[in-house]
Amino acid sequence: MGVLFDHILNDKDLHDTVKSLLIHLHTPLLKLALLDETFLSNPKHDGRQLVNQLISAGARWVTDDATTKNDVFRHMQAIVKKNITDFDHDNSSQIFTHLAGEFNTYIEKIQRQTSVTEKRSIQAAQGKEALESGRKQVTILIDKKLGDEPLPKPITQLISQPWSAFLSFVLIRHGEDSLQWQEAVDVIDNLLWYIEPKINSEEIQQAAILRAELNEKLSDGLSCVGLNANEIQQHLNSLAMCAKLATENAHELPEANPEASNEDTAQQSTIKKCPPNILAADSKKPSTPTIDTFKKPLTSVKKDNEEDDMDDAIADVLSLDFGTWLDWQKANEPSRRLKLTWYNKKTQNCMLSNAMGQQVMIAANEIALGINQGWITVSNTELKKPFFERMLETMVEQLRLKTQSA
């Protein structure tokens, strides 16, 4: 028993309050070992199971982390107290059996609660990441569609605000390879064509046909993102007014030097004779950028090497298995033990949870930096054998070494 409690006192994973509590089991365990010879030989003995449960719970659930608030230590105190007060020679095994079952039931309940909390937090984080990623993708798309050409303010507001929200909704719900996404993107192209000046009767007729389709798609999309009927009608009225004014202003402009621009006019008429969703793709090839070669200074090379090392460290973090525990021992901060529950390799955001499943989002580069600097270590606590078995293996090894040296 002396060796057992020496191991308890020297266990770095146990909080001092847990060690002080478990010391009170010395006498009951010593009596049990004398009364029941299977205590040390049977790995499934309820006495050994209780010791393993208490030490495992103490290592996982009792910490200095103020965010890890639970009643585990209080239940451990109650178990130890019952063991001391209820133990006698006649029921030595039965009391350990009862207490081991009682404490195991409690821990299983805590684990289920923690698991539910973790799953909900992961789902929320995944949804938030998807939403942010979708919004960025939609913003890039809209910026590309609108370009630098000045547009009427109502059109810019329509595309950049409610229709942008609808695009994000469609992207998250259906994905960018879906028909729904392509139709929502086509609305922008058709809308931009619709408000351009119409220079002939054919274009005016096509615009009239397109207007009904646009109004229907815009109404459906805007209602999906919470706009009411009055708000939707205001956007549709603004769209119609912008298209009307553009065409009227174009017909009022004086014609200048028509002979010099016959070829341009014919080309413009050909390009604009139908809505953009059925136009042929632009045949212009992008210009090939020139690459200037130069010799980097030594400081730049050193910086590149450091960045490569950090990239490798981040890659290592993003290859850790979900469920890996990380021990945090940062200077001037309380120690923490956090479990890696999820990460997004694209955004490099990692979600970690404490023993109660409470989540915190941390960037992978911060974890990589902590590991490199030594204030974060990957814990192998979950991979260890039960405490009692490790203690016995150590005893056997010590006896073997003494025999060899004798």
- 372: domain CATH number? 2.30.30.30
Q: Are residues 6 and 115 part of one domain?
A: yes
What is the average pLDDT across 177-199? 92
Confidence at residue 298, expressed as pLDDT on a 0 to 100 scale = 55
| Shared domain check, 110 and 9 | yes
97 in the same domain as 158: no
Residue 15 lies in a domain: yes
For residue 297, the model assigns a pLDDT of 59
Same domain, residue pair 113 and 11: yes
Per-residue CA distances from 20 to 15, 28, 58, 67, 376 (Å): 9, 15, 11, 22, 27
Tens of pLDDT, residue by residue over 62-118, are 877 655 567 889 999 999 999 998 887 777 778 999 999 999 999 999 889 888 888
pLDDT of residue 273: 42
Kindly state whether residue 228 falls inside one of the protein's structural domains.
yes
pLDDT confidence of residue 294: 46
Residue 97 sits in the same domain as residue 158: no
Structure confidence at residue 347 as a pLDDT band (50, 70, 90)? confident
Secondary structure of residue 326 in the 3-state scheme: strand
**Mean pLDDT over residues 315-334, rounded?**
87
Same domain for 211 and 312: no
Between these two residues, 281 and 186, which has the higher pLDDT value?
Answer: 186
Q: Is the same domain home to 102 and 15?
A: yes
Q: The pTM is what?
A: 0.59
Total domains in the fold of the chain: 3
| 114 in the same domain as 12 | yes
Strand partners, 342: 351
Please check whether residues 165 and 105 belong to one and the same domain. no
- Could you tell me if 354 and 336 are in contact, meaning their C-beta atoms sit under 8 angstroms apart? yes
The pLDDT-based confidence of 193 (bands split at 50, 70, 90) is very high
* Distances, alpha carbon 48 to alpha carbons 12, 22, 86, 226, in Å: 20, 13, 18, 61
Q: 320 with 367, same domain?
A: yes
**288 pLDDT above the threshold of 70:** no
How would residue 334 be classed by pLDDT, with cut points 50, 70 and 90? Answer: confident
Residue 316 has φ and ψ, to the nearest 5°, of: -65, -40
pLDDT of residue 357: 76
pLDDT of residue 268: 43
Residue 53: predicted pLDDT = 92
Confirm whether 322 is domain-assigned: yes
Percent of the chain with pLDDT over 90: 35
* Residues 105, 22 share a domain: yes
* Confidence category of residue 149, pLDDT binned at 50, 70, 90: confident
pLDDT digits 0-9 by tens, 207-257? 889 999 999 999 999 999 999 999 999 999 999 999 888 877 765 545 444
Mean pLDDT of 55-62: 87
Best CA proximity match to 336, nearest among 316, 314, 352: 352
On whether residue 297 sits in a domain, the answer given is no
- Decide if pLDDT at 262 tops 70: no
Judge whether residue 384 has pLDDT over 70. Answer: no
Q: What is the pLDDT of residue 62?
A: 84
Domain co-membership, 68 together with 175: no
- Is residue 98 a part of any domain in this protein? yes
CB 360 within 8 A of CB 351: yes
Which range marks the domain in which residue 328 is found? 307-383
pLDDT over 90 (residue 258)? no
Q: Is 316 exposed, middle or buried (0-12, 13-18, 19+ CB in 10 A)?
A: middle
Residue 396 lies in a domain: no
The answer to the question of residue 20 being in a domain is: yes
Confidence band, pLDDT 50/70/90 cuts, at residue 382: low
Out of 18-27, 67-76, 127-136, which region has the weakest mean confidence (pLDDT)?
67-76
Does some domain include residue 301?
Answer: no
State mean pLDDT over 31-55. 88
Write the CA distances from 402 to 165, 390, 397, integer angstroms: 74, 18, 9
- Convert 227-238 to b/e letters by CB count within 10 Å (16 or more is b): beeeebeebbeb
